[in-house]
Amino acid sequence: MDLWYTEKHSENVGITMKTTKTLFSGKSEFQQLDIVETLEFGRMMLLDGLVMVTERDEFIYHDMIVHPALFTHPKPKKVLVIGGGDGGSIREIMKHPEVELAVLCEIDGLVIEKSIEFLPSMAAEIDGTNPRVKLHVDDGLAYIRDHQNEFDVILVDSTDPIGPAVGLFEEGFYRLVFSALKDDGIMIAQSESPFYHAAIQKKMYQNLREVFPLVEMYQAFIPTYPSGFWSFAFASKTYHPITNFDHDRAAKRKFHSRYYNEDLHLGAFMLPTFARENIAK
């Protein structure tokens, strides 16, 4: 019998994938966690039934949530990831030698535990063996309150604005992030799909603009996310993602990135009109 996983992106549209095996299925105090084998996308993590990461296309999301900020900030020494329990963002951050410490603040320890067990290609750097990585199992909303003027870059690698992540899209949280950043800090947040989530984006970018002097959106193609057209918010105290981008450092990077490159960095900030108009000031 064929087993198909389906995620509905709207009432009448979704994605469906043939799966072969369930590797883990369990409920934490925050959410349902499933890790399944798929025929075409490798292993896939689901939280409350929604696609979080697949082995085949996670490189796109993790390249794009990490590298644009770390090649724009001139000296990103201390980086915080809120969410990101699969470890993919930390893996990419570790490729930047100037980063002295990456802190992961993930609310659900079960996500970390099962990512280490079943998704080693993503979770390699969060297994406790890397001295440049520090793990916290905590609500990002609580953690951020205790840290002022501490981080060069903060990445909000969260689930959608439902359940434990609702507060991570609010103005109050962005104010806390602003004060946790140094005076030239940058915040990146996954900001959903311009095609399916216009209302969420409009509110999110309004909230960001209440707090940060510089807010831009950039895009990436992620086949297993709703519509495949995904976005990230670049919120900055001083640096601009294009004029302050260190093209040379990005071009001379010592690692191979299958999605990100120094030319795509520039192109990603060019948006289709409907997406740009929806978040305009």
Residue tagged active-site, from 57, 86, 139, 157: 157
Among candidates 14, 84, 76, which has minimal Cα distance to 45? Answer: 84
Select 127 or 184, whichever has its Cβ closest to ligand SAM. 127
Q: Kind and range of the H or E element at 253? A: none
Interface with ligand SAM (CB under 6 A), residue from 57, 63, 106, 262? 106
Annotated active-site residue 157? The verdict is yes
Nearer to ligand SAM, 80 or 250 (CB): 80
Q: Which of 54, 59, 64, 85 binds ligand SAM (CB under 6 A)?
A: 85
Q: Which one of 86, 92, 125, 152 is in contact with ligand SAM (CB under 6 A)?
A: 86
CA torsion sign for 31, 167, 103, 119 is: positive
Phi, psi (rounded to 5 degrees) for 279: -110, 10
Rule CB under 6 A: say whether 63 interacts with ligand SAM: no
Contact 79, 153 (CB under 8 A): yes
Give me the least distance between CB of 143 and ligand SAM, in Å please. Answer: 7
Per-residue HEC secondary structure of 74-90 comes to CCCCEEEEEECCCCHHH
Q: Token pair of 23, please?
A: 């590797």
Per CB under 6 A, the list member of 57, 63, 108, 152 interacting with ligand SAM is: 108
99 vs 111, which CB is nearer to ligand SAM? Answer: 111
Q: Which is nearer to ligand SAM, 76 or 164 (CB)?
A: 164
Q: Is residue 84 a contact residue for ligand SAM (CB under 6 A)?
A: yes
Question: In angstroms, what CA-CA distances link 269 with 15, 234, 247?
Answer: 27, 10, 14
Tell me the closest approach of the beta carbon of residue 243 to ligand SAM, in angstroms: 28
Q: Does 52 bind ligand SAM (CB under 6 A)?
A: yes
The residue to which tokens 């996310």 are assigned: 225
Number of chain positions touching ligand SAM (CB under 6 A): 25
Rounded distance between C-alpha atoms, residue 205 and residue 120, angstroms: 34
Query: Which of 197, 189, 173, 170 is CA-nearest to residue 278?
Result: 197
Q: Is 105 in the site for ligand SAM (CB under 6 A)?
A: yes
Give Cα 68 to chain centroid, integer Å: 12
Distances (CA, A) of 204 to 43, 50, 281: 31, 21, 12
User: x/- string (CB under 6 A) for ligand SAM, residues 165-204?
Assistant: x--x---------------------x--------------
> Mapping DSSP to helix (H, G, I), strand (E, B) and coil, where does residue 188 land?
strand
Enzyme catalytic residues = 157
Report the interface residues with ligand SAM, using CB under 6 A.
30, 47, 52-53, 61, 82-86, 105-108, 111, 139-141, 157-159, 164-165, 168, 190
